[in-house]
A and B are shown apart, each in its own frame.
Chain A
Amino acid sequence: EVQLLESGGGLVQPGGSLRLSCAASGFTFSTYAMNWVRQAPGKGLEWVSGISGGGGSTQYADSVKGRFTISRDNSKNTLYLQMNGLGVEDTAAYYCAKFVGGRSLVDWGQGTLVTVSS
């Protein structure tokens, strides 16, 4: 059974940093691209970032480019999102999701909440 467990969310002041983690199990982690998707309170889904299975290719939404960094440690089956320069507009639940070619985001974690507030 695929399991994705996010952690690292919390309350941070504007301008601060957080690192989110997503621990994966139940599948061969290194063979799948992974993504981060966020959802502001009461709002819709917004794709944030994606990374290839080997980690050599990354993509970012314009809204986070230059501030967020996606990475992965395939030896630890863990996906990361380093978030710097956080603003109130980054307040959201952050989900990690496994990408399957031809199917998009098949498996999702339960999300971790990031609140940016002074």
Chain B
Amino acid sequence: EIVLTQSPGTLSLSPGERATLSCRASQSVSSSYLVWYQQKPGQAPRLLIYGASSRATGIPDRFSGSGSGTDFTLTISRLEPEDFAMYYCQQYGSSPQTFGQGTKVEIK
């Protein structure tokens, strides 16, 4: 099973700042099968990024993804108030599909 480790666990930032979230895999993951989700309290997850770097429908361009192999990054260029949430990476190229434990982006 591929283990995804997200860091940091919590990111405390102010609106307007840049957020950089990391997802590291225990073994190589095809970029095609690495995705990022956003989840707000009491809500279902929402797909943000697929294929490591492609934004899902309706996702603002302040969200971007990058990386390959075992190291992937989600960047939020300028935090808006609605961006403070949990973020999860997921790989589905290797069975079983797995999620990272999440990074909480909180208001500083």
Contacts and interface: CB of A to CB of B under 8 A. Distances in A.
Please indicate which of the listed interface residues B37, B44, B90 has the most CB atoms of chain A within 10 Å of its own CB.
Answer: B44
Interface size on B, as a range, is: 20 to 34
Contacts, number: 55
Contact of B88 (A44, A50, A61): A44
Contacts of B26: none
Contacts of A106: 47, 56
15 contacts: A37-B45, A44-B100, A44-B102, A45-B90, A47-B90, A47-B99, A59-B95, A95-B45, A103-B50, A104-B33, A104-B92, A104-B97, A105-B35, A105-B45, A110-B44
Interface of B: 32-33, 35, 37, 39, 43-47, 50-51, 56, 88, 90, 92, 95-102
